[in-house]
A and B are shown apart, each in its own frame.
Chain A
């Protein structure tokens, strides 16, 4: 664990100053006018938000893969990200986005609603298969309602705003978003980290984990609340940013002994690193309008995932 944590913490410490300087205008602290102001009010909050969002998504992905005992699992499976997105879309639909706190608030309510729906459907049994199915249903319900909101959008502007927002981005985010997301993500990562030993026991299957004294219902709720906080907060401030939760645990696993508990904190660091780098690249690319971070990560993520599947097929994982 220490090796992976040291490695990714070091890389993150290297990447952060570079990311602060990177942008359409490369910052030279000595000569750029208002450098301190740009750093403090634009670059630093955006980079920190990338770290917060990426850290949450990375940890959530590692915990989900451990819980479902499947390297292809993704935090999206619980339907929490689509739920949060639906909440945000509702805010945009009614034009509430003008008020800075209403959109993230609606997104958090959406995430909470998805969690409550999961609880109502599958909460008491604690069975993993039923729960995954329930999550998929919540996800498709939220997706359908989001599509409905788009097709019934009151005007073209709202529709455009919704579609843009669904492809997550960190453009024009500030300290307010950092202060909103950071505590929720930190709490979520802490809960997921606490689930670690139980996830290790789950390596031997649910019956053995239970025979070792693991309360599987408690574990489930630790996971749901942890993923709900990390993913819900991430979607609330950045929109949907896919693939991070799926990819990051695979990048981290070779640097660990592959125990699920040893994967969660390094995955948080590596997720932070990945989103920070991706967001920096998006800023530097010489395009007329900035490429949306969510699109960039999907463009990176899908080929990576195919490569992963090929390796999986050859039994290399």
Chain B
């Protein structure tokens, strides 16, 4: 029950027979150049895209066979571009995370608000927030649903440095949490240094296929980056505090 697996997933022109087994309790980062298929893979894992071939397994069960509510309870999904149509209260947006459970339990909602440092914003209106504040609110919406899996597309892109680190700390706590399997965290990250320093595992996609998969130091080694991103780079600093610089 503690894995989320792709079995020869194929989506026309986007993914080509991608097979992976993700584990709860780990932070996995999906990396790759633009158009590599990262977002498509994430959306397919979240059950939002029906693959043309292959399947997604949640534990041992085919995700396609899940009722949408059951799937929603277990998989939390955060898209890349924030979209908020109406100027609703911030708290009501976060409460939407409880929708699959059919409740508005204050416990998880307050915990999500506290985890993302949103106490001061909870009574505000959604469209009065800055880009970074919006990103935190939308992630809090996912956390409020207490899913087994958090699948987030570029959740850090709009955040300032302090909130990036705070969020990563929080995701780490979620992954480590409890006596059970912990939360499975899958992040699409463009910033390779964040992936290098904070992920347990990095999956590199290129042209719809997995081209590297493993601990960050091997999946994001300089030769992989040279091959996939076509730039010459090297890592500096010590493990856990790496920075990527150009090779020359």
Interface residues of A, Cβ cutoff 8 Å to B:
69, 197, 200-205, 207-208, 210-215, 257-260
- Contact between chains at B99 and A207 (CB < 8 Å): no
Of A200, A205, A208, A213, the residue contacting B68 (CB under 8 A) is A213
Q: Are A207 and B48 in contact (CB under 8 A)?
A: yes
**A69-B85 in contact (CB<8A):** yes
Q: Which residues of B contact A213 (CB under 8 A)?
A: 68-73, 99-100
Looking across the interface, which residue of chain A has its beta carbon closest to that of B75? A211
Q: How far is the CB of A262 from chain B (nearest CB, A)?
A: 9
Shortest Cβ distance from residue A2 to the other chain B in the assembled complex, whole angstroms = 15
B68 close to A203 (CB less than 8 A): no
- Beta-carbon contact of A203 and B77 below 8 Å: no
B-chain residues with CB within 8 Å of residue A204 when the two chains form the complex:
83-85, 93, 96, 138, 141
Please, which residues of chain B bring their CB within 8 A of the CB of A210? 48, 68
B84–A215 contact, CB under 8 A? Answer: no
Main secondary structure of the interface of A (DSSP, over half): loop
The answer to whether B53 has its CB under 8 Å from any CB of chain A is no
Chain B residues with a Cβ under 8 A of chain A:
43, 46-48, 68-73, 75-79, 83-89, 92-93, 96-97, 99-100, 125, 138, 141, 145
Chain A residues whose CB sits within 8 angstroms of the CB of B87 once the complex forms: 258
CA distance A203 to B125 in the complex (A): 13
Closest residue of chain B to A197 (Cβ to Cβ) is B99
In whole angstroms, how far apart are the Cα atoms of A258 and B126 in the complex?
10
B76: chain A residues within 8 A (beta carbon): 211
Give CA–CA (A271, B125) in the complex, Å: 26
A213 to B100, CA, bound (A): 6
* Least Cβ–Cβ distance between A108 and chain B, in angstroms: 32
Q: Provide the bound-state CA to CA distance between A213 and B68, in Å.
A: 5
Contact check, B88 vs A258: say whether CB atoms are below 8 A apart: yes
Partner of A203, one of B43, B46, B72, B85: B85
Pick 7 A–B contacts, CB within 8 A, sort by A. A197-B99, A203-B96, A204-B138, A205-B79, A211-B46, A212-B72, A258-B88
A98 to B100 Cα, complex, angstroms? 53
* Complex alpha-carbon distance, A113 and B202, angstroms: 54
| Shortest CB distance B90–A (Å) | 11
Tell me which residues across on chain B come within 8 A of A211, comparing CB atoms: 46-48, 72, 75-77
A203 touches B84 (CB 8 A): yes
Contact A203 B88 (CB under 8 A): yes
**A257–B100 touching, CB < 8 Å:** no
Could you tell me the distance between the alpha carbons of A205 and B83 in the complex, rounded to whole angstroms? 6
Q: Which of A201, A202, A212 has the most CB of B within 10 A?
A: A212
